Chain A
Amino acid sequence: MSSPLRSNALVKIAWVHLVSKKRQTIVAMLGVMFGVTVFIFQAGLLTGLQNYFIEKTVNTTAHIHIYNELRAERPHVLDNVRAYDSTWKVVRNQKPRDEERRLRNGYQILRVLEQDPRVEGVAPYLGLQGIVRFGTAQQAATLAGVDILREDQLFRVRENLIDGDMLRMQTIPNGIILGSGLADKLGVQVDDNLAIISSKGVVLDMKIVAISKTGITAQDNTRAYITIRNAQRLLQQSGTYITDINIRLRDVNAAQTIAAEYQSRYQYRAEDWVAANANIFGVFRIQNITITFVIISILVVSGFGIFNILMTIIYEKMPDIAILKAMGYRNRDISTIFVIESLVIGVTGGLLGLLLGFIASVIMSSIPLNIQGFVSVQFLTINFNPVFYLVAFGFALLSTAIAGYFPARKASRFDPVEIIRSR
């Protein structure tokens, strides 16, 4: 049914049609090319940025975070006093009680969690706000009391160190690891001594053992790691006092279910990493939807370009179609000609688009930007995921196929008698 000679003839006819409409053909190809280029470039840029951000965030967010959620509405201390009559009772300035943040039996929970086979690592945490002072320079800081080895297992502390040695946190009693922004503002280096002061008025002398730079600006500017014991001292608390437990799971995607399970078991808030970053993922989703619409509309427009040129060719070449049919070419042969034409446009435009999208991405990813914002980025991290290239090409072919199908069908259904008569 398809001898090579015959398909060659159909290809040749298609080719001659396209060449006879060179300019329109090129415009249609450019349409497809543009669509594919934008697809690859935008998708690469956006998901590259998102992935970078997710990676940064996920590496610094526990898969599950257990803490004691402070309720904004506390029952009033007088609610149960003389509730039976309407006597006025006034107590102003009822304060939340400090120990409410505490995880009771925190270390016991920690040890139980460690036995859970789904859990890769567990780290206790005791955070507080304090002041870091170096001579006359002082900065507010978030003092993160951690068990540094466990913390490293969860958050890759060591990978982010730009100076110093993490393990000295264990060998000296008063080690501190400063965020790079914090260190810069204070003008300190590794091995410098500084003081930290808590809201309880406790002052501790510390020695800088390392400096860390995660790339997340907010953290680098404010966070300092200290030992849990020192954090407890600053808060004047006993050695079992912790406020948070962070968990790293073997399977990140199981976080939601396991978090729910822990929450009901321990009666503390157990938040999974997706929930913790819900607002970010929401933004990503909106970004992705927007970009999808942009890309789809470009491809639809390029589809119309193909449709347009094919219809032009078909009406111009009606006599050719009629005579081919009169000499015994089938409807299928005729539609093949026009399908070939649309495929030539789609494949050529698509391949050019892949190439151009790739080149644009490479160029974009090699321009130094040094953005200091939400996260600090030196180069745009562009996602070169081959799936994008496949999907973009697939979409180009799909829109081409749809745009080519209707003209091809129309051409194949022309009645040669009518065409020959109307000449």
Chain B
Amino acid sequence: MQSNHIIVANHVSKVFTDPVDFRVLDDISLTVDKGEFVVLVGPSGSGKTTLMYALSTLDTEYEGTITVDGTDIASLSPNQLAQFRNSTIGFVFQFHYLLPDFTVLDNVSLPAIKAGVWSADEIEERAMKNLQLLGVADQARKRSSRLSGGQQQRVAIARALMNNPKILFGDEPTGNLDSKNTSMVLDILRDLKAEFNQTILMVTHDLQFAERADRVIAIRDGRIVNHE
């Protein structure tokens, strides 16, 4: 196992038992390297989201082993898991999931506040820097629910980057955006990868995405069907 692997999944399977037994992940093994931009594609219902939740430590109920940044996820207690997510992983979801009654700045600050490493001033500074990076610094003091969809998604990315995550996960982050906003988000992800060597794992239906990724993993019926 090379040290360059930041995610290692070994024979991961998962069965949903409700309403009937259904093998949603079937013996999946994969690795993701540091600084790699990997895209997960596949037909609807093939298990992409399920796999991403497992790889990103949100879901811990599966067979097999997943190691992220050298840590076996299954060995962590719920509190350790929360701590691990806070420091190591950033999320962007299809629906932006900003806290609607808070300002943009507050939303972006939340992961850093939880980390408890920086002072209030440092956190604000970092937050503004990230918002700037994503071109939404001018919205910082607005309530997040006032922003457009594309702006909200960029704020969500800024938030995901707050604690310098080792991996940025996304589940169809552009699924809800028009083509202009989609390509803007894509450009941003590309830049993150190019400038900061950010490891990125995205689930998508979007072929544009696939074109710009380092690697595309295709899934069908819970199995990996190709490695490019």
Closest to B87 in A: A328
Task: Pick from B59, B85, B102, B119: contact of A417, CB below 8 A.
Answer: B59
Residue B147, interface by CB 8 Å: no
Quick check: which of B2-10, B29-37, B93-101 contacts chain A, the rest being far away?
B93-101
Is B85 a contact of A327 with CB atoms below 8 Å?
yes
Residue B151, interface by CB 8 Å: no
Is B91 a contact of A3 with CB atoms below 8 Å?
no
Is A333 a contact of B101 with CB atoms below 8 Å?
no
Residue B49, interface by CB 8 Å: yes
Is B116 a contact of A420 with CB atoms below 8 Å?
no
* CB-contacts of A317-342 with B (<8 A): 319-320, 322-333
Task: Pick from A13, A328, A420: contact of B85, CB below 8 A.
Answer: A328
Is B53 a contact of A327 with CB atoms below 8 Å?
no
Is B116 a contact of A327 with CB atoms below 8 Å?
no
Is B102 a contact of A16 with CB atoms below 8 Å?
yes
Measured between beta carbons, the chain B residues less than 8 angstroms from A3 are 116
Is B86 a contact of A20 with CB atoms below 8 Å?
no
Residue A164, interface by CB 8 Å: no
- Whether A327 contacts B58 in the complex (CB less than 8 A), given A5-B120, A417-B53, comes out as no
Is B93 a contact of A420 with CB atoms below 8 Å?
yes
User: B103: shortest Cβ distance to chain A, in Å?
Assistant: 10
Residue B166, interface by CB 8 Å: no
Residue B19, interface by CB 8 Å: no
Cα of A16 to Cα of B78 in the assembled complex, Å: 27
Residue A70, interface by CB 8 Å: no
Cα of A423 to Cα of B116 in the assembled complex, Å: 30
Task: Pick from A16, A324, A416: contact of B101, CB below 8 A.
Answer: A16
Residue A137, interface by CB 8 Å: no
Place the interface of chain B in its size category. 20 to 34
Task: Pick from B49, B99, B114, B123: contact of A328, CB below 8 A.
Answer: B114
User: B45: shortest Cβ distance to chain A, in Å?
Assistant: 13
Cα of A320 to Cα of B84 in the assembled complex, Å: 20
Task: Pick from A17, A319, A328, A330: contact of B97, CB below 8 A.
Answer: A319
Measured between beta carbons, the chain B residues less than 8 angstroms from A331 are 78-79, 82
Measured between beta carbons, the chain A residues less than 8 angstroms from B106 are 12
User: B60: shortest Cβ distance to chain A, in Å?
Assistant: 10
Is B95 a contact of A423 with CB atoms below 8 Å?
yes
Closest to A2 in B: B116
Which applies to chain A's interface (DSSP): helix, strand, loop or mixed? Answer: helix
Count A interface residues, CB 8 Å: 30
Task: Pick from A9, A322, A329: contact of B82, CB below 8 A.
Answer: A329
A-B contact count (CB 8 A): 76
Cα of A233 to Cα of B101 in the assembled complex, Å: 92
Cα of A331 to Cα of B83 in the assembled complex, Å: 11
Residue B192, interface by CB 8 Å: no
Residue A6, interface by CB 8 Å: yes
Is A327 a contact of B111 with CB atoms below 8 Å?
yes
Is B95 a contact of A5 with CB atoms below 8 Å?
no
- Whether A329 contacts B93 in the complex (CB less than 8 A), given A417-B53, A417-B58, comes out as no
Task: Pick from B86, B99, B101: contact of A323, CB below 8 A.
Answer: B99
In the complex, which of the residues B106, B113, B119 has the most CB atoms of chain A within 10 Å of its own CB atom? B113
Interface string of A396-419 (1 = CB under 8 A from B): 000000000000000000001100
Residue B186, interface by CB 8 Å: no
Residue B136, interface by CB 8 Å: no
Measured between beta carbons, the chain A residues less than 8 angstroms from B119 are 5
Measured between beta carbons, the chain A residues less than 8 angstroms from B116 are 3, 5-6
In the complex, which of the residues B78, B98, B110 has the most CB atoms of chain A within 10 Å of its own CB atom? B110
User: A340: shortest Cβ distance to chain B, in Å?
Assistant: 15
Cα of A423 to Cα of B98 in the assembled complex, Å: 13
Is B58 a contact of A326 with CB atoms below 8 Å?
yes
User: B152: shortest Cβ distance to chain A, in Å?
Assistant: 12
Interface string of B44-88 (1 = CB under 8 A from A): 000001000100001100000000000000000011001111110
Closest to B162 in A: A327
Residue B223, interface by CB 8 Å: no
Cα of A72 to Cα of B109 in the assembled complex, Å: 89
Is A416 a contact of B86 with CB atoms below 8 Å?
no
User: A261: shortest Cβ distance to chain B, in Å?
Assistant: 65
Closest to A5 in B: B113
Residue B159, interface by CB 8 Å: yes
Residue A421, interface by CB 8 Å: yes
- Whether A328 contacts B101 in the complex (CB less than 8 A), given A416-B58, A423-B95, comes out as no
Measured between beta carbons, the chain B residues less than 8 angstroms from A324 are 110
Measured between beta carbons, the chain B residues less than 8 angstroms from A16 are 99, 101-102
- Whether A326 contacts B101 in the complex (CB less than 8 A), given A9-B110, A417-B58, A423-B95, comes out as no
Assuming A9-B114, A12-B106, what are 13 further A-B pairs, CB within 8 angstroms?
A: A5-B123, A12-B102, A13-B102, A325-B82, A326-B58, A327-B86, A327-B159, A328-B85, A328-B87, A329-B82, A331-B78, A332-B79, A421-B49
- What are 21 residue pairs bridging A and B, where the CB atoms are less than 8 Å apart in the complex? A5-B113, A5-B116, A9-B109, A9-B114, A12-B102, A13-B102, A19-B101, A322-B97, A325-B82, A327-B85, A328-B86, A328-B111, A328-B115, A329-B82, A329-B114, A330-B78, A330-B79, A417-B53, A417-B59, A420-B58, A421-B49
The 6 closest A-B pairs by CB, nearest first: A328-B86, A323-B97, A3-B116, A327-B111, A328-B85, A9-B113
Interface residues of B (CB under 8 A from A): 49, 53, 58-59, 78-79, 82-87, 91, 93, 95, 97-99, 101-102, 106, 109-111, 113-116, 119-120, 123, 159
